[in-house]
């Protein structure tokens, strides 16, 4: 089996802002859509506007391909990627019943309260209301991937080998950099967040990830870059209260950070319908690339619904190029790759721009409506409560489909596949001039929402009308106009997401 041990540093071009802070500059072939620079694209707003709240949605960092493809290409893409060293040693949380003796390891003490250790006491409840008092501890653990040959026999372990779809060392570095850039802007430049966040200020920030290892680990790296105090000794922090970040995840049935086809049958049905439409539209256009691509795909022609699927080929090429791996020369044809990308983008995101208005709105509502509701609710709460609403910065670790879905729903998607660590930022500003009667009540100061994709400031079509944006600045959408856009997605009969999703659900099993 082919293997690779390319390092993180070889895929990053130069230092940024000092030693140990590494930039991420994806090549054209790897994809640039939504990528950021050191400034995060910040532009000073009009002087009477003050920053009130920030939301950042970030695609996870670089990862390995989600499946093994192009192993017989020329040159072949490795099946084993030795690029995941950072996550192989860690501390695991375990329950320690240290007061329970064994023959070879007697209990350390006769009573729980005398046990030595750094963990916390917990009480586990079992059958018949039986209770066990135990202590949580951290155990040093090493982890490695065990690969097998064609006879299912274990191969020699490479300690840095990656799983399919795993965040690599490069991905951890680039997401750390996103956190450092957020700190440079919102802490160092703007003073929006305190230089040292304490546990008493935990409600200033909100961190959430989808429940996938690569997004959770990406968020951990972002938080470390944003809040270096998470590594500081207590004595170096004011009040000796080190900040311990809380990272939230949701169950798959309630996840709204991505188009949730897992939990929504109607969305899954629509998604399949538009995927088939994309195949019918693009497959005839891809025939001209058969001779270029098929030799690298075991003779299979490039098709949206082919084997391998076209999106899988693009994913493998993008992941390989991002990590500095050689790919077949055919994939350096920019015109061909543009056509491949366009076909894959349509396969995944055509539903957001469906010709039938009812289907378009339903697709947008089921895919991203709930998350947009969350964003509008948090910003609306800040506008109403002002300082009594403590949240200042929210970071969401998500996926390419999250960013593309959000942008498509607001009619500002560029129809290019989002890069690794691509981001969407939403900034809420408060007008510090005299209050006026507005959407959120009498005497409320006007608030404005500015949105960026990577470094690019966006102008939302819903906010171009006079009165729906700050005078002379179409990029500063009134919070009222933004909220109305979100509310326009809601079901006309007030159906819940769960009820509308059931439209496409087959008969339930009696089991």
159 or 33, greater pLDDT = 33
**CA atoms within a 13 Å half-sphere pointing along the CA-CB vector of 483:** 16
pLDDT class for 103, splitting at 50, 70, 90? low
Question: Cα–Cα distance between 4 and 320 in angstroms, integer?
Answer: 11
Rounded to two decimals, the pTM is 0.88
Query: pLDDT at position 135, please?
Result: 74
Contact 192, 186 (CB under 8 A): yes
What digits encode the pLDDT tens for the residues 175-212? 999 999 999 999 999 999 999 998 889 999 999 999 99
Query: pLDDT at position 109, please?
Result: 45
Question: Cα–Cα distance between 9 and 83 in angstroms, integer?
Answer: 11
Strands of 242-392 (E only): list them. 247-248
The ranges assigned to domains in the chain are: 1-90+164-511
157-166, 407-416, 455-464 — which is least confidently predicted? 157-166
Query: pLDDT at position 22, please?
Result: 39
Query: Is the model's pLDDT at 332 over the cut of 90?
Result: yes
Using DSSP's 3-state secondary structure scheme, residue 77 falls into coil
67 or 152, greater pLDDT = 67
Dihedral Cα 138, 162, 170, 85, nearest 10 deg: 50
Query: pLDDT at position 235, please?
Result: 52
Structure tokens of 395?
């970071």
> Per-residue DSSP letters for 162-173?
PPTT-B-HHHHH
100-114, 331-345, 383-397 — which is least confidently predicted? 100-114
Mean of the pLDDT values across residues 103-123? 53
Query: pLDDT at position 136, please?
Result: 77
What digits encode the pLDDT tens for the residues 234-259? 555 555 567 889 999 999 999 999 99
Query: pLDDT at position 289, please?
Result: 98
Using DSSP's 3-state secondary structure scheme, residue 397 falls into strand
49-53, 345-349, 506-510 — which is least confidently predicted? 506-510
123-137, 203-217, 253-267, 407-421 — which is least confidently predicted? 123-137
Helix, strand, coil percentages (3-state) for the chain, rounded to 5, are 40, 20, 45
Average pLDDT along the chain: 87
Angle, alpha carbons 150-152-155 (nearest 5°):
90
Contact 71, 110 (CB under 8 A): no
Question: Cα–Cα distance between 77 and 72 in angstroms, integer?
Answer: 7
Question: Cα–Cα distance between 471 and 480 in angstroms, integer?
Answer: 15
Question: Cα–Cα distance between 271 and 349 in angstroms, integer?
Answer: 8
Query: pLDDT at position 15, please?
Result: 36
Query: Is the model's pLDDT at 54 over the cut of 80?
Result: yes
28-32, 128-132, 346-350, 384-388 — which is least confidently predicted? 128-132
131-135, 137-141, 230-234, 343-347 — which is least confidently predicted? 230-234
Query: pLDDT at position 26, please?
Result: 46
Query: Is the model's pLDDT at 11 over the cut of 70?
Result: no
Share of the chain above pLDDT 70, in %: 82
Query: pLDDT at position 7, please?
Result: 37
Q: Please report where in the chains the tokens 């949730």 appear, as a residue.
A: 260
Query: pLDDT at position 21, please?
Result: 37
Query: Is the model's pLDDT at 389 over the cut of 80?
Result: yes
15-19, 184-188, 196-200, 226-230 — which is least confidently predicted? 15-19
Contacts from 500-503 at CB under 8 Å and sequence distance 24+? Answer: 500/266, 500/362, 500/365, 500/366, 501/263, 501/264, 501/265, 501/266, 501/267, 501/366, 502/265, 502/266, 503/265, 503/266, 503/269
Query: pLDDT at position 198, please?
Result: 87
Query: Is the model's pLDDT at 372 over the cut of 50?
Result: yes
Question: Cα–Cα distance between 358 and 150 in angstroms, integer?
Answer: 50
499 or 505, greater pLDDT = 499
Query: pLDDT at position 115, please?
Result: 41
CATH of domain 1-90+164-511: 3.40.50.1240
Query: pLDDT at position 66, please?
Result: 94
DSSP letter at 420?
Answer: T
Mean of the pLDDT values across residues 478-503? 96
Mean of the pLDDT values across residues 294-313? 97
Query: Is the model's pLDDT at 328 over the cut of 90?
Result: yes
């Amino acid at each position: 089996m082919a293997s690779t041990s390319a390092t993180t540093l070889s895929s990053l071009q130069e230092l940024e802002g000092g030693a140990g802070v590494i930039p991420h500059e994806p090549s054209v072939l790897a994809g640039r859509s939504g990528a950021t620079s050191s400034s995060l694209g910040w532009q000073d707003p009009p002087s009477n506007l003050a920053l009130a709240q920030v939301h950042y949605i970030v695609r996870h960092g670089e990862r390995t391909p989600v499946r093994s493809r192009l192993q017989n290409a020329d040159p072949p893409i490795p099946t084993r990627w030795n690029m995941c060293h950072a996550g192989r040693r860690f501390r695991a949380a375990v329950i320690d019943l240290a007061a329970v003796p064994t023959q070879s390891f007697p209990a350390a003490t006769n009573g729980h309260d005398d046990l030595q250790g750094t963990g916390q006491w917990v009480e586990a409840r079992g059958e018949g209301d039986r209770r066990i008092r135990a202590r949580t501890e951290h155990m040093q653990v090493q982890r490695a991937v065990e690969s097998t040959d064609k006879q299912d026999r274990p191969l020699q372990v490479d300690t840095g080998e990656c799983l399919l779809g795993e965040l690599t060392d490069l991905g951890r570095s680039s997401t750390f950099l996103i956190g450092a850039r957020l700190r440079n802007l919102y802490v160092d430049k703007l003073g929006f967040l305190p230089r040292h966040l304490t546990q008493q200020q935990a409600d200033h920030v909100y961190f959430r990830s989808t429940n996938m290892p690569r997004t959770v680990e990406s968020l951990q790296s972002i938080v470390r870059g944003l809040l270096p105090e998470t590594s500081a000794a207590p004595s170096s922090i004011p009040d000796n209260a080190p900040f311990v970040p809380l990272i939230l995840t949701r169950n798959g049935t309630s996840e709204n950070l991505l188009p949730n086809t897992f939990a929504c049958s109607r969305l899954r049905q629509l998604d399949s319908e538009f995927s088939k439409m994309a195949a019918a539209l693009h497959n005839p256009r891809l025939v001209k690339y058969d001779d270029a691509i098929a030799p690298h795909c075991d003779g299979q022609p490039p098709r949206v619904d082919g084997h391998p699927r076209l999106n899988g080929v693009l994913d493998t090429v993008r992941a390989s190029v991002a990590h500095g791996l050689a790919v077949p020369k055919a994939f350096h044809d920019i015109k061909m790759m543009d056509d491949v990308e366009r076909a894959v983008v349509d396969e995944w995101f055509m539903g957001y721009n469906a010709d039938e208005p009812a289907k378009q709105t339903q697709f947008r509502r089921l895919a991203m409506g709930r998350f947009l509701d969350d964003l509008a609710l948090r910003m609306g709460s800040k506008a109403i409560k002002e300082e009594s609403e403590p949240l200042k910065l929210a970071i969401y670790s998500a996926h390419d489909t999250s960013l593309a879905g959000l942008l498509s729903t607001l009619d500002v998607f560029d129809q290019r596949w989002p890069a690794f660590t691509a981001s969407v930022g939403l900034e809420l500003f408060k007008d510090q001039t005299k209050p006026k009667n507005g959407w959120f009540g009498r005497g409320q100061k006007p608030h404005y929402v500015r949105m960026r994709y990577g470094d690019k400031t966006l102008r939302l079509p819903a906010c171009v009308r006079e009165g729906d944006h700050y005078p002379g600045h179409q990029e500063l959408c009134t919070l009222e106009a933004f909220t109305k856009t979100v509310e326009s997605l809601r079901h006309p009969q007030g159906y819940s997401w769960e009820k509308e999703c059931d439209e496409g659900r087959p008969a339930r099993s009696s089991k």
